[in-house]
Structure 1
Amino acid sequence: MIQTLVPAHAPAPAIGTAPVGPSQSTFTSTVPRQLVHRAAVAEVFLTGWRQLADDHYLISAQWPRAHSFFAPVSGRYDPMLAAETMRQVGALLAHSAFDVPLSHKFLMWDLDYTVMPEHLTIGTRPADLELDVVCSEIRRRGRKFAGLRYEVAIRHEGQVIATGGASYTCTSPEAYRRLRAGQLESAAVPPIPGTPVPPARVGRSSGFDVVLGPAAEAQCWQLRVDTRHPVLFDHYVDHVPGMVLLEAARQVAHAMAPGDTVLLPTSVHSTFSRYVEFGSPCWIEAEYPSGDPTGLDGGLRVTAHQDGETVFAATVTTTALPG
């Protein structure tokens, strides 16, 4: 489960103001950061939205040409930008279109994306994007919104550059406290981050961005948690965020690739079945699909385990790039 929390210190924006449609947006500002569960304005990628039908929305976004964490990959946008953008879509719609209070907690159960590498080349200006969003499986408890599934097509200059979707539920602060009573009472302290694997081996230039630590077994790593990271831990949470697990899956794909192969994670299909807690080790394992000893064609299966339970699973498909 990906759970996102609105920073407690952040002032609430005025929900209910007129939405800004992509056709009207001049990309002069982002949507309020609280609506996408970010503390830093620099981490907000959505810039406006408007409703086309009961279940259909048009959302505008912008990707920067450079980012401190979602760095370019051989001159192309990092596909993980698509994952984070799609995550933000769910939060924005809940608060802006379905009137979910900012105090509610969100639990994401799955997130998928597929990118088109030929359309990810970084140009001479930031990428102004149009997101076509269709909602389904809208759930309510009585008259209150409780969750949904949504599918997204991301377009840049008329071309579809990524597709994907996600599903989530949301709950009141009171219900969340009941759900998390044991963990909240124990006040588990995030561990001191261990030694990272060599950054170049997992497609990173700095150990600070590495979320994998060495393990005693082959094709297994310990999840490395560093709550000082300004992007992965943009604000306080009481467990490991789901985007950390998605990044772990991407880094595992790099670690399993032969030699110095430069990889673009073109497709990720992920599910979240339980919170990853700070209080005990989380182990990341990888398995080649049958008949594909490199994992470059059929996708690499990545799973995360904690306290004997599977907490996360993903299939990562990659494309090898020159250089």
Structure 2
Amino acid sequence: MNETVTAAVSHPARVAKDLVHKHDAGQVLLSGFRRPAEDEFLVVADWTDTAWLGATGDSRQDGAVLLTESIRQTFPLLAHAGYDVPFGHRLLWSEYRYTLNLRTLREGGTGGRPELRIHCDDVVRRRGRVTALSLAITVSRDGEELATAHTLFTIQQPAVYERLRGPHGDADQMLALARSRPLPSPASGASDEFRDAVLSPTDARDRWQLRIDTHHPMYFDHPSDHAPGILLLEAAKQAARTMRHPRVGVAEAMETVFHRYVELDAPCWVHAQLLPDDQLGRARFLVTISQNELPCFTALVSVAKGQTG
């Protein structure tokens, strides 16, 4: 299966939506992959038509949303087509970090067909089945590096996931409950687009309520029983952006850890703390997302001065 699923990298079609866990085929960002070695993959992305993203102003230019969603789509692609993980198994994000090459992205933009060179290490198997993968990723286009990233995710069998999630594992029930409650207002400066704002203001400048729009076409492309990881990553970016507003700056790098699920049936809080600048002169923020007084997600966001905001 590993070799026969391989798609020609020059073919304009995109991979089947089921292989990247998308309901909307128009949101598929990957066009194919090949496998040079056992745990090495070359995945080709297609960024030529991404109007559906409707991303915030800086996201469309700095590439972070495209990069992260492209990488997120490699999880199921490699799990199913590369390591024979059955459909229905759950892929759980554990860690993620990225660094953008802002000079290259500013000069060349975020279009085209970049390549993601992926090395899979720390491949954990139990009873012959892969249960965890760590990916080291280099993203390039026309020989120029756009970004590097590293991520770790684990894989759970459906029965295990259902047992651990309990009543929170019913996506339809959780979504119905979330949609029965009013959506909080968006925070000023968090996003250029009302639809994409994931923060809602509080009385404190450095604290927000997480704004979970379960009708958002990207974050909830398919039913989910919890807030998706990419929404939490965007919340960390928007928290740093709001703290700096109206000064410009791009989230050039981020290091994140996912501690537990953000549920849809209770308010969730985002807190940002300004840290000393790093050795490159970038502003740094520690963003924590908590629910029911328990940490769910932490992110160290490094913001570079830039021409975008």
CA positional deviation for 1:255 = 0.6
Checking the alignment, whether the CA contact within 8 Å between 2:289 and 2:297 is kept in structure 1 is yes
CA–CA separation in structure 1 for the residues paired with 2:194 and 2:59: 20
Paired position in structure 2 for 1:256: 243
CA offset at residue 261 of structure 1? 2.2
1:196 corresponds to 2:180: no
Q: Is 1:241 matched with 2:228? A: yes
Q: Answer yes or no: is 1:69 the counterpart of 2:66.
A: no
What is the root-mean-square deviation of aligned Cα atoms in Å?
A: 2.4
Among 86, 90, 105, the alignment partner of 1:105 is 90
For residues 94-140 of structure 1, the C-alpha deviation after alignment (integer angstroms, 9 at most, x for no partner) is: 00011111111111101111110111137599311111100011011
Per-residue CA distance 1:31-87 (angstroms, 9 max, x = gap): 111111111112111111111111111111121365333356398343221111111
The equivalent residue for 1:178 is: 163
- Larger helix share, 1 or 2: 2
> TM-score normalized by structure 2?
0.90
- 1:231 is paired with a residue whose SS is coil
Alignment partners' CA distance in 2, 1:249 and 1:102: 30
* Partner of residue 41, structure 1: 25
On the 8 A contact 1:296/1:318 being kept in 2, the answer is no
Q: Where does structure 2 lack aligned partners over 5 or more consecutive residues? A: none
Tell me the matched-pair count: 301
Structure 1 residues 75 and 301: alpha-carbon distance in aligned structure 2, compared to 1, 3 A threshold: closer
Task: Determine if the alignment matches structure 1 residue 31 to structure 2 residue 15.
Answer: yes
Identical residues among aligned pairs (%): 31
Alpha-carbon spacing, 1:44–1:72, altered in 2? closer, same or farther (3 Å)? farther
Match of 1:87 among 67, 72, 88: 72
Please state if 1:221 is matched with 2:205. Answer: no
Question: Which residue in the other structure is 1:137 paired with?
Answer: 122
- Asked if structure 1 preserves the Cα contact closer than 8 Å seen for 2:56 and 2:192, the reply is no
Which of the residues 195, 199, 209 maps onto 1:208?
Answer: 195
- What is the match of residue 10 of structure 1? none
- Partners in 1 of 2:307 and 2:34 — Cα distance? 40
Q: Which moved more, 1:188-197 or 1:96-105?
A: 188-197
Task: State the AA in 1 paired with 2:65.
Answer: M
Matching residue within 42, 60, 73 for 2:44: 60
Distance change (3 Å), C-alpha of 1:185 and 1:254: closer
Contact 1:65 1:77 survives alignment (8 Å): no
Counterparts of 2:59 and 2:209 in 1: how far apart (Å)? 28
Give matches, 1:297-312, under 5 Å: 297-312=282-297
State the secondary structure of the residue aligned to 1:88.
Answer: helix
